[in-house]
Chain A
Amino acid sequence: MRLSEALRINQLSLAPDSRCKKVQLVCGFTPLHLGTFVEAYIRNRFPGERASIISGLFGDVEGNLKRASREEAQGAVVVMEWSDFDARLGLRSSAGCDSPILADILEHFPATISRLERGISELAGRMPTVVVAPTLPIPPLTHLPLAQSGSFELQLQYQMIGLLSKLCGIGGLKILNESMLASRSAFRDRRDVNLEFHAGFPYTTSHATALAELCVECLYPPIPKKGLITDLDETLWKGILGEAGPSGVSWSVESRSQAHALYQQLLASLAESGILIAVATKNDAALVREAFARRDMLLKETQVFPIESGWGAKSDSVARILRAWNLSAEDVVIVDDSPMELAEVTAKYPAIEGFRFPHNDAAEAVKLLSMLRARFAKTEVHAEDRLRLESLRNAPSINQTQSSGDPLDFLAGLDAKLTLKFGTAANDNRAFELVNKTSQFNLNGQRYTESEWQAVTNAPGAFLLTANYEDRFGPLGKIAVVVGRCLRNKLYVDIWVMSCRAFSRHIEYHVLERLFEKFGVDCIEFAFRPTERNGPLQEFFTRFFPHGLTAERFELSANVFMALRPTLFHEVTEVSHG
């Protein structure tokens, strides 16, 4: 992004009541263009919202950390350069660089590190924080040849790594990935000496934009995709299965098909983290099974569901996969070596992101793997992620059982156990994740940043209810979240989501029943908003409001609920704290 483009973005007019993301930019230099770019990238990430960047005083990163900790904001970006640890490590200082000076710098360095560690920890306890380790080189202060690393530099770097390692363990704090920054901003092009001397801003525009982009990406990571559909021939492996046979396809260095091995390895790793992997291939199903039975396959058949082998249009296979997963096209990517197949699928499903597997270009294939990793990146893997595939595999037998008899008999025979927990959001990252990724059974589709989530769950009178579910088909883990407030004998529900894997089990009725019982209220007010995708939620409420939901806030009385709710069968346990 160019500076002029950033200024244009920041000047776009917005509705007067638009939401504002307030972000602390903590640094020891004049924030200048870095602040401009951070604002622009936040506005790009959240169209229709304002961004307010708050910065501190020049040359006082420690004081700025303290001030930032006292301010209300939705996030913080802490950018440290070597001169913040000791002014003599900056170009604006000329205090000398003889041996006693260097020794003095080393002597005082640990104390500064400790103070900054305390300041950053305190800030991260208040708001989501991104920390950037020095991005500029240490000035050449020693007598050594420039090509040689010396003890002075190494000791500084060693202590810096120590600081980052300690910070890394703090919840709510993220360390910017220097390798990723280096891939976007070359080391030699980062420093603008003239601007540093003239205005106290040390970065070139190109470095400032790269740094700002990554900081915003780190502070507000994109919502990850949920499923990947892959082709087989010249994609998952090298060769054409129908021609070479199961033993003739390959994925190894020896057979010059290592990129396919790395791709399989990536898919196996994604599957382990709860990403759904499916196959859509124009192949004979028996041959595909034989190939997957090979012991050297890095992606196991058990990690893939479903496998769609056939000769019809690929978009038809994709349709069946989306149904089996109960996902929307926008949650999914497809990888295929054939541009024609990708075009056919994306013509029918424009929301699916298609990637061509460059089977004859290993370097491009490795780039693709990085892109795919980024699409599915998540900061944490929850127990529920590992349960997802199993519950989907069981879905056909559940549906079959359900359709073959009385739905109430089916529910009664599930031996279901529902565990409801009224707790705090402090350590419940799964609840936060569920709120931000659920679209279908979602009261209003509202997404939250970490700080907004903290604010809504810590509001006066607020409660957080989560539901874990298990039946004879297996556990589903934490599948529903309700956040609301009880004020003056009235219950307000602001957030209500439920995983699509938990549909058709009447869990939603159990949840409402418990809310009425627990709070003893006569009615519940819901902060509803129709979205393109929350049809299942609206359908649930038609039982109580046969003419549909017309208002954006509506009330459901306990009398109406009790009169119209179906018979409930699950064993419900409540956990009050923790």
Chain B
Amino acid sequence: MDNLSDRLVTCFGLVFPNLPLDEIPSAAAGNISDWDSIAQINLLSVIGEEFGIGIDFEQFEGATSFPALLDRLREINGRG
């Protein structure tokens, strides 16, 4: 796992404290009952804080899994 991925795992741990660490990389809204719209906003807000980026919610539309969020972050990181 790279640094970006590690930091995203930390964000997931804060928003989904009951999710075992080893399950985070495969986490998706469909397989976590706590992952509702409020949790999604919380997760994106924590990600924004952790990575120092202003979250554009439309840009993250549909990013409801760990891999998808990681991809978006890599895109932003690549642009930055």
Contact = CB atoms under 8 A, between A and B. Distances in A.
Given A8-B14, A11-B17, A199-B37, A33 B49 contact: no
Contacts of B38: 30, 32, 199
B52 to A, nearest CB: 11
A29 interface: no
Interface in A176-198: 194-195, 198
B55 interface: yes
A33 to B, nearest CB: 7
B41 A194 contact: no
Contact of B41 (A2, A8, A11, A195): A195
Contact of A3 (B17, B37, B46): B46
A150 B11 CA distance: 46
Interface string B9-45: 0110011010000000000000000000110011001
A32 B41 contact: yes
Nearest to B57: A198
Given A8-B14, A194-B56, A201 B41 contact: yes
Given A11-B17, A199-B37, A32 B49 contact: no
B50 interface: yes
A33 B45 CA distance: 9
Contacts of A32: 38, 41-42
A7 interface: yes
A149 interface: no
Contacts of B45: 3, 33, 195, 205
B60 to A, nearest CB: 10
A4 B41 contact: no
A439 to B, nearest CB: 37
A30 B45 CA distance: 15
A45 B56 CA distance: 34
Nearest to B60: A198
Interface string B60-78: 0000000000000000000
Interface in A25-43: 30, 32-33, 36
Contacts of A7: 14-15, 17, 42, 46
B72 to A, nearest CB: 16
B41 A198 contact: yes
B69 to A, nearest CB: 16
A11 B19 CA distance: 13
Nearest to B45: A3
B49 A194 contact: no
Contact of B49 (A2, A8, A36, A198): A2
Contacts of A194: 55-57
A4 B49 contact: yes
A3 B11 CA distance: 11
Given A7-B14, A8-B14, A194-B57, A199 B41 contact: yes
A195 B17 CA distance: 23
Contacts of B11: 4
A56 to B, nearest CB: 15
A404 to B, nearest CB: 67
A205 B49 contact: yes
A195 B49 CA distance: 14
B50 to A, nearest CB: 7
Contacts of A195: 41, 45, 57
Interface in A1-19: 2-4, 7-8, 11
A195 B37 CA distance: 12
A2 B51 CA distance: 13
Contacts of A2: 49
Most chain B C-beta atoms within 10 Å of own C-beta, residue among A7, A30, A205: A7
A205 B10 CA distance: 19
B8 to A, nearest CB: 13
16 contacts: A3-B42, A3-B45, A3-B46, A7-B15, A7-B46, A8-B14, A11-B14, A11-B17, A32-B41, A33-B42, A194-B55, A195-B45, A199-B37, A199-B41, A201-B41, A205-B45
Interface of A: 2-4, 7-8, 11, 30, 32-33, 36, 194-195, 198-199, 201, 205
Interface of B: 10-11, 14-15, 17, 37-38, 41-42, 45-46, 49-50, 55-57
Given A7-B15, A205-B49, 9 more contacts: A3-B49, A4-B10, A4-B11, A4-B14, A4-B49, A7-B17, A7-B42, A11-B17, A194-B56
The 7 closest A-B pairs by CB, nearest first: A198-B57, A7-B14, A199-B41, A11-B17, A4-B14, A3-B49, A4-B46
